[in-house]
């Protein structure tokens, strides 16, 4: 089975840039999608197919994917960006999620 | 506006059964795949199952194969999951999630708030 590895937590100062990684074997050959989830709420798609932002998602959110690592980058981090971030891929006949990363804004 | 409303969760004993439903609105239901994604307390997301827009193709996680069956009623914009032989480890909030694709579960562009399933004696 295919595994995705995310750091348990990432901390960033208000206004700085946060980078959340998602590691997987040759993940650069797959389409990676990212979700933001705030406490008690349903997940929200923030990046799809590596680099694309759905309508309504701020330009501060961007994504990249190459080799064995995909990265979600959040520029000019705001307090409202705190929450859990999950990466996801489709692998053959199944959906795989990473374990999730808790983003803390200092 | 896309809306997904789950129902059917509750407390069930180990070995028991439940049927979850998801009522959809705000989009052409038959054009899109639908999925169930669960989240155990304090844990990450786990995809459980998916079905294509036409209903012809279904997909299941290995952890639930043989115990869960998904189906859809395109005439009534409703999506279902029959859960049998439930185990303690099935305890989770179950979210209904819309695929951006009509065929396979590529990614999930809209989610419901979820319904809680608790398996306990």
- Distance between CA atoms of B90 and B83, rounded to whole angstroms? 10
B37, B46, B104: residue with CB nearest A90:
B104
- Distance between CA atoms of A25 and A47, rounded to whole angstroms? 20
- Distance between CA atoms of A18 and A83, rounded to whole angstroms? 12
Tokens of B16: 């028991």
- Any chain A CB within 8 A of the CB of B62? yes
Per-residue pLDDT reduced to its tens digit, A17-41: 999 999 999 999 999 999 999 999 9
**Please, is A33 exposed, middle or buried when counting C-beta atoms within 10 Å of its C-beta (0-12, 13-18, 19+)?**
buried
- Distance between CA atoms of B119 and B24, rounded to whole angstroms? 26
**Please, is B106 exposed, middle or buried when counting C-beta atoms within 10 Å of its C-beta (0-12, 13-18, 19+)?**
buried
Hey, is B69 helix, strand or coil?
strand
CB < 8 Å to B45, chain A? 35, 37, 43, 86, 88, 97, 100
Which of B94, B107, B111 has the most A C-beta neighbours within 10 Å, making it the best mutation to test the interface with A? B107
Per-residue pLDDT reduced to its tens digit, B9-32: 999 999 999 999 999 999 999 999
**pLDDT tier, A93 (very low <50, low <70, confident <90, very high otherwise):** confident
Give the mean pLDDT of A56-77.
98
Closest CA to A94 of A30, A36, A35: A30
CB contact under 8 A, B104 and A31: no
- Distance between CA atoms of A87 and B108, rounded to whole angstroms? 12
CB < 8 Å to A88, chain B? 45, 47, 107-108
């Amino acid at each position: 089975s295919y595994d995705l590895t995310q750091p348990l937590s990432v901390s960033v100062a208000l206004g700085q840039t946060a980078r959340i990684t998602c590691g997987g074997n040759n993940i650069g050959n797959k389409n990676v999608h990212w979700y933001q989830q705030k406490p008690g709420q349903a997940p929200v798609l923030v990046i799809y197919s590596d680099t694309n932002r759905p309508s309504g998602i701020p330009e501060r959110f961007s994504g990249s994917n190459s080799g064995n690592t995909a990265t979600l980058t959040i520029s000019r981090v705001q307090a409202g960006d705190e929450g859990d971030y999950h990466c996801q891929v489709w692998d053959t006949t199944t959906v795989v999620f990473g374990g999730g990363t808790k983003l803390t804004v200092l | 506006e896309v809306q997904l409303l789950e129902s059917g969760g509750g407390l069930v004993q180990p070995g028991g059964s439940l049927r979850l439903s998801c009522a959809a609105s705000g989009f052409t239901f038959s054009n899109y795949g639908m999925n169930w994604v669960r989240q155990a307390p304090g844990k990450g997301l786990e995809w459980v199952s998916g079905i294509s827009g036409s209903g012809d193709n279904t997909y299941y996680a290995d952890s639930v194969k043989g115990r869960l069956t998904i189906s859809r009623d395109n005439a009534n914009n409703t999506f279902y999951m029959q859960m049998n032989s439930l185990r303690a480890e099935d305890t989770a909030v179950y979210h209904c999630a819309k695929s951006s694709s009509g065929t396979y579960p590529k990614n999930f562009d809209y989610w419901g708030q979820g319904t809680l399933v608790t398996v306990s004696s």
